[in-house]
Structure 1
Amino acid sequence: MEQRIHILIVDDHPVVLEGMKALLQDNDMVEVDACCSNGQDALAFLLENKVDVILLDINLPDISGIDLCKLIKQQYADIHIVAISNYNERSMITKMLQNGATGYVLKNASAEEIIDAIRAVVKKTVYFSPEVQKSLFEAALDDPLDLPKLTRREQEVLRCIAEGKTTAEIGDTLFISPHTVETHRRNLMQKFQVSNAAALIRVASQYQLI
């Protein structure tokens, strides 16, 4: 039997906490280690316990889930975070991704969908609920001007980054110097308003640019 994935659920609604715990407890793949109703309790739990995935609500009484997501990823880079929310707006989804989340599901999700999200993020891939994917796609269609304007060379560098190539490998592929590659990389991060390559790939995927 595969080793269980250890889960922390953070949500300020007791009904949601208990409901989500009940949805997951019958699955042999996961173990719900704890449920916390605020950010302070979640951080205190993480000081003493190791988990693999956090199911994180965006609305918390003491700190926003967006800020808590960033704090957790800064302190525990190996933890995977799945946002659990009633919000389906692109701005909210993007903020969670930029702050380290790699999954986003709605609170009406089934146990199967939540398990799919957990499985995906543990495998280091991004997971969106079907409704979230639809919302992102429709928002992009409604507001095409919101897409970052990339030069042809920036598009080439972005594709290489998404393929996992190093700066040197990108330089060799595109016949440009490592310094030029780094300049394009900085410009891309500035245009997408992100601070690292992982966030760059996530947001570019959201815009369907890679």
Structure 2
Amino acid sequence: MGFSPEWNDLYKNNKHFSVWPWSQLVSLCLRHTDLVTTERACKVLEVGCGAGANLPFFLAYTDKVYGLDGSEYIISSLKQKFPQLVNTLAVADFTSSIPFKENFDLIVDRGASVHNDTSSIKRYLKLAHAHLNDGGFIIITDWFSTKHSQYSGGAPVDDDGYVRTGYKEGPFSGVGKVHFFDSDIIKQLTEDFELIHLEHTSIEVYGTDQKTSGWNIVLKK
């Protein structure tokens, strides 16, 4: 199972409870996909939708919005908050199953698959490819970079060291597995797609040695 069960407890304790759309995701959707320009309603799936921060953004452009999360608690909460989506929100480990018969024009992954090991991410991308319409897009944001200051923390899960866990403090405390990426592994993992956009960002906190570095990616089938 790819889903880290720690997230269910985090949501219950009101942690990682983002409720505003993520600006980088909004920008990439509007710049690179057919969300706005298509003549028909774009069908959107967000994997690891969490507390639903991005759902209002998608609903502003289409009524064909779907969401998956491994947390029963958070999906139950979202169905109460967004009653119009009660039939299109589901509890699932998206690295093992995407339980919708539909194919999608856009699949969004905001900091979700990054909390899996490499083999789980490979399965997820294979499933996502199968559930995309031809010409459809995947937008991935916040795949953590090997230049992130937390890359040297935690304990390695696998031999190559890309996946780490066991963080006792900081932003990754209690979240289970954390995957870090360099450009080579990204290109390997996404070789079945056309790589439209690959962006590396880095933010340094003044007066500390903390650096938040990550990748934002746009893929096309």
Q: TM-score range by the shorter chain?
A: 0.3 to 0.5
Q: Which has the larger radius of gyration?
A: 1
Report the TM-score, using the length of structure 2 for normalisation: 0.37
TM-score (norm 1): 0.38
- Higher helix fraction: Structure 1 or Structure 2? 1
Q: Relative contact order, CA 8 A, sep 6+: which one is greater?
A: 2
As a proportion of its length, which structure holds more strand? Answer: 2
